[in-house]
């Protein structure tokens, strides 16, 4: 089931729509926003210079700091009388980023969320248990109005109160669970402890999860514990909130709603646009937002995008589940290494725990990478042969999957220092040198 036929439009039609909307958006911000006018002028570019989609590479980037610098409403492009909703980040590290929506933007948001729900097979017959937090965070209300748009019954449970949430899910016959994956797992664990028989006590068939970085292992654990399909949703408040992209039933990759969002992948160090399929930082331009249009927003999220059509019939390009954060990236002998990728390899290795540390250092002119991993309790630590095998397997996997040549060092459980209860994952000694 596809909510809007725009999701299955021919590629040329999608790109023609994007170009038209990109030009409109550029013209609007140039005319209305002093911030963007100055940025365009500095680069010597005018909105009418955009002749093809590729010309987007000539436009300036927008960063999170730009939103902070113009706190709270400095980047809005409509009068406040037109703004109908404000959301904001928690601002735990400085000023929060504030975003605003006019009535048209709300329609766009509900539309893209309706697409997400339809991808999950949700209809008017479903009961959606919404465990995303309601408030300034975009999760709660984003999922709320999208569910209403497809005519489903929404239960605005918000976060917390695990036992009560489980009771409501059971008694109201929730068929859809929307919340963060870690909360879904927590709910499942509590339900299991209470002796629930999931298939009998609950009617859940699908979960729509997002809003936090998630490893493949966690996704599988959530899907397995509830015995449901795991649908992933991606979004960020600076762009709209949840509903930028979502995975369909045929693919782990997430369809980007390209008629509303223009996505690029850039090299996080040089800012250069990378070819299709290559991994880099996701950059998004809003194509239809009015209150807070954003040009080339640097999400800091690492992913790749492919445009080949999907079995589901949608033609919108697909991004991988976020691989890591651009800030965490290490460059080792010219190869980009993301700690989350290393973690993925370790998670799939036998005989070791997820307590590890990546240490980068210099050896002559070359970078050296060492990965310390604590072995699990059940490994025979006096069996040198077994330890050698474990070590070699991890080294081979790192080389074959990530093209990195690392020396793996196995250590005893609880050897790696924890600071404030949290292990330090990466130590880059090259910076100190």
Residues lying near Zn ion in the complex (CB under 5 A) are found at 248, 250-251, 310, 312, 314
Nearer CB in complex with Zn ion: 113/310: 310
Say if residue 72 is preceded by a cis peptide, omega within 30 of 0. Answer: yes
Q: Which residues contact 371 (CB under 8 A, 6 or more apart)?
A: 342, 346, 356, 357, 358, 359, 394, 398, 406, 407, 408, 409
Q: How far is the CB of 233 from Zn ion (least distance, A)?
A: 14
Nearer CB in complex with Zn ion: 250/403: 250
Nearer CB in complex with Zn ion: 318/344: 318
Nearest-angstrom CA–CA distance, 365 and 335: 15
Q: How far is the CB of 231 from Zn ion (least distance, A)?
A: 11
Cβ atoms of 286 and 51 within 8 Å: the answer is no
Nearer CB in complex with Zn ion: 87/314: 314
Nearer CB in complex with Zn ion: 8/361: 8
Q: How far is the CB of 318 from Zn ion (least distance, A)?
A: 7
Region of residue 268 (left: phi > 0; alpha: psi -120 to 50; beta: else): alpha
378 φ, ψ (degrees, to nearest 5) = -85, 0
Choose among 301, 332, 300, 347: nearest CA to 426: 332
Distance of CA 291 to the CA centre of its chain: 23
Q: How far is the CB of 345 from Zn ion (least distance, A)?
A: 27
Nearer CB in complex with Zn ion: 312/375: 312
Q: How far is the CB of 258 from Zn ion (least distance, A)?
A: 13
Classified as helix, coil or strand, 408 is: strand
Q: Which residues contact 194 (CB under 8 A, 6 or more apart)?
A: 166
Q: How far is the CB of 338 from Zn ion (least distance, A)?
A: 25
């Amino acid at each position: 089931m596809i909510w809007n036929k725009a999701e299955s439009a021919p590629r040329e039609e999608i790109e023609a729509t994007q170009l038209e909307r990109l030009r409109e958006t550029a013209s609007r911000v140039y005319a209305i926003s002093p911030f963007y006018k100055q940025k365009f002028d500095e680069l010597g570019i005018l909105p009418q210079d955009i002749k093809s989609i590729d010309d987007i590479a000539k436009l300036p980037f927008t960063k999170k700091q730009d939103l902070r610098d113009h706190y709270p409403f400095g980047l809005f492009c409509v009068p406040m009388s037109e703004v109908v909703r404000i959301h904001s980040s928690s601002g735990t590290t400085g000023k929060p980023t504030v975003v605003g929506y006019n009535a048209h933007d709300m329609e766009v948001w509900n539309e893209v969320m309706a697409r997400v729900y339809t991808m999950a097979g949700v209809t008017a017959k479903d009961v959606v248990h919404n465990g995303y937090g309601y408030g300034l965070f975009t999760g709660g209300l984003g999922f709320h109005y999208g569910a209403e748009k497809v005519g489903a019954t929404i239960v605005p449970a918000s976060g917390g109160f695990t036992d009560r949430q489980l009771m409501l899910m059971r008694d109201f016959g929730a068929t859809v669970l929307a919340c963060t994956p870690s909360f879904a797992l927590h709910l499942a664990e509590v339900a299991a402890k209470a002796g629930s028989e999931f298939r009998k006590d609950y009617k859940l068939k699908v979960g729509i999860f997002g809003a936090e970085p998630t490893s493949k292992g966690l996704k599988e654990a959530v899907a397995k514990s509830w015995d449901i399909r795991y649908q992933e949703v991606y979004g960020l408040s600076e762009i709209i909130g949840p509903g930028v992209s979502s995975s369909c039933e045929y693919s782990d990759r997430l369809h980007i709603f390209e008629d509303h969002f223009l996505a690029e992948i850039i090299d996080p160090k040089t800012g250069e646009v990378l070819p299709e399929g290559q991994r880099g930082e996701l950059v998004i331009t809003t194509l239809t937002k009015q209150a807070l249009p954003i040009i080339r927003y640097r999400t800091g999220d690492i992913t790749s995008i492919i445009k080949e059509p999907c079995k589901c019939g949608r033609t919108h390009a697909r991004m991988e589940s976020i691989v890591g954060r651009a800030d965490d990236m290490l460059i080792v002998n010219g190869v980009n290494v993301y700690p989350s990728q290393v973690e993925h390899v370790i998670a799939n290795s036998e005989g070791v725990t997820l307590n590890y540390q990546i240490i980068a250092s210099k050896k002559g002119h070359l970078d050296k990478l060492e990965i310390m991993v604590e072995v699990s309790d059940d490994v025979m630590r006096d069996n040198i042969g077994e330890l050698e095998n474990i070590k070699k397997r991890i080294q081979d996997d790192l080389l074959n999957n990530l093209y990195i040549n690392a020396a793996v060092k196995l250590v005893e459980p609880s050897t790696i220092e924890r600071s404030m209860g949290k292990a330090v994952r990466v130590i880059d000694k090259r910076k100190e040198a």
